[in-house]
Amino acid sequence: MHRRLGAVNALYPSLTTIVGADVDGKPNFLAVAHVGILNHGTPQYLSFGVFNKHHTNQGIREHRQFSACIPGRNLMEQTDYVGLVSGRKTDKSGVFDVFRGDLEHAPLIRECPVCMELKLHDIHEFPTHDIFIGEIHATHASEDVITAEDKLDVRRVDPLLFDMASVHYYALGDPLGPCWNVGKKLKRGE
């Protein structure tokens, strides 16, 4: 029997990202787990739900560029830190080794195994959150997380996951089965 829980978001855990933007002439970073994949075509769009009072929002709005870096579990402490302190009061530009790609105002984090440069496509304003929709301009990945087929290996990325219900970070476990394949035995019975 199922019990009604009310309007509870049950889509957690979700991927934790570190969103970066230049604010007041220096890189600023913020941990964001409210992320969404909007399509899988070209161009590809991602959404980031960010509390509208965050300092990083100012840089995204001003420059219309930002980054989304995927920290591994080894960066849990630093990721949590950039989500705890405000860039208005704390200079977070030295927390990570920053590098740049093509977009001048989208700071990337060398310690993160995967980083994406995004161009701001649109902003949807809600009473408490700004939803930034970014178009992926370029993705950068550490050599040690790329397979021989030039694909990302999620096990080597070892992404940090965030769960709102338990308010804890998690990591991935072993793969369970191949997508678009394990259901074929049910399809045969059609």
Coil vs helix vs strand at 21: strand
CA distance 16 to 14: 6
pLDDT of residue 145: 98
C-alpha to C-alpha distance for 166 and 1, rounded to whole angstroms? 23
Q: What is the mean pLDDT of residues 12-25?
A: 97
pLDDT at 70 over 80: yes
Q: Whole-angstrom Cα distance, residue 20 to residue 98?
A: 10
Helix (H) or strand (E) holding 66: strand 65-70
Could you report the per-residue pLDDT of 96-119, keeping only the tens digit for each? Answer: 999 999 999 999 999 999 999 999
Where does the pLDDT of residue 185 fall: very low under 50, low under 70, confident under 90, or very high at 90 and above?
A: confident
Give Rg (Cα) of the chain.
Answer: 18
> Is residue 27 classed as helix, strand or coil in its secondary structure?
strand
Could you tell me which residues come within 8 angstroms of residue 152 by beta carbon, excluding any fewer than 6 positions away?
A: 114, 141, 145, 146
The pLDDT tens digits of the residues spanning 28-56 come to 999 999 999 999 999 999 999 999 999 99
Give the mean pLDDT of the chain: 95
* pLDDT (tens digit per residue) in 119-152: 999 999 999 999 999 999 999 999 999 999 999 9
Residue 184 has pLDDT above 90, yes or no: no
Q: pLDDT value at position 189?
A: 61
CA gap 61, 21 in Å, rounded: 9
SS3 15: strand
Is the peptide bond between 13 and the residue preceding it cis, with omega within 30 degrees of 0? yes
pTM of the model: 0.94
